[in-house]
Structure 1
Amino acid sequence: MGPGGPCTPVGWPLPLLLVMAAGVAPVWASHSPHLPRPHPRVPPHPSSERRAVYIGALFPMSGGWPGGQACQPAVEMALEDVNSRRDILPDYELKLIHHDSKLSYGSSSPALSNRQRFPTFFRTHPSATLHNPTRVKLFEKWGWKKIATIQQTTEVFTSTLDDLEERVKEAGIEITFRQSFFSDPAVPVKNLKRQDARIIVGLFYETEARKVF
């Protein structure tokens, strides 16, 4: 994905699970008499008696996609919800440490690995080409010697497909038909059908995936 993506706390599974638990617990209780009802809210132990558990987070609060402005309040609400209950981590107090991210944790474009073009760019997300060796292994496992591709015309997918093309060539696999589109995949999809392509590798964002399928 591009630099704009979902907010990712350093310890993201915990805040995410907390939000989900807070949202679904009342539903379970109201629809299933066999499940235990959630404990009533009671005053937690005083903060001075509770051990702090710190959760680090990076929120994009500025720039082209300041999505952290929406994510941060949700995480804070989740932590507050847990801290106000005695039946969840009663001896601990969750505390959030957050900063405006100054690096991209989600940009996966292979082009960003070029240190000559982007000498000061850092990311915590691997390049999208990371999945290509696995793709090749799957082709080999199933004995697929000819494949077709369809991609959205953006650098991340073009670079990833260029890398895949080199890898499949080394493995003796041929890309027989390569299609791309900017926003409307209708014509490329028709071309793939006309060529009777059976094994198709698709590289595009989820919004375009709905159009393709």
Structure 2
Amino acid sequence: MSNQEILDKLRDTIVNQDINGCAAATKEALGAGISAFDAINGGLSVGMKIVGDKFEAAELYLPQIMMSAKAMNAAMEVLTPELEKDQTDEGVGTAITFVQEGDIHDIGHRLVSTMLGANGFKIVDLGVDVPDNTILDEVKKLEGSKILLVGSALMTTSMLGQKDTVEALVEEKLRDSVKIMFGGAPVSDGWIAEIGADATAENAADAARVALQLMK
């Protein structure tokens, strides 16, 4: 079986919500010499993109999305030790990832966190429905190091909270100590410019590329 066929198999286990099959295919990928990063970028994230598109088109529903997420988690249990081997002590920086207050949609958030970790970021995952005070406290703890804030919002209502987050950082005189990347279906380049954040991205793989650019 070629490497591309193995990656396609990984993709399909995500799309088909095959938890055990996903873990087995991940081990198969590593055994074939495919790197952890390529397994994520070329297989798992492709599957999650398909799942996300099907969800938006109402071809899949939340229970199926959750099963695909569990399959992704099973794969990450296999891949995380490999990713950690590749990371340097310094890394490229710390990514504080979170879903905006009032929002609990975390599939994209988890995938972006995974992709950033695969690209050398140390991940501090604050979870979902995160208030600004929690974000500020975490930034203060890490002040002086390279910090990237990565927030997501799937709903227009929670997206508005991204502006509040930027304003809170400005008020606490922390804005200059962080780079800020926001994502989610309603987020646009125009919105990023309006609220004074730094960047957005089309998808998880693009998020990793943009994040690395921001930290240069």
Q: TM-score, normalised by structure 2?
A: 0.29
Please state which structure has a larger fraction of its residues in helix.
2
Please state which structure has a larger fraction of its residues in strand.
1
Q: TM-score, normalised by structure 1?
A: 0.29
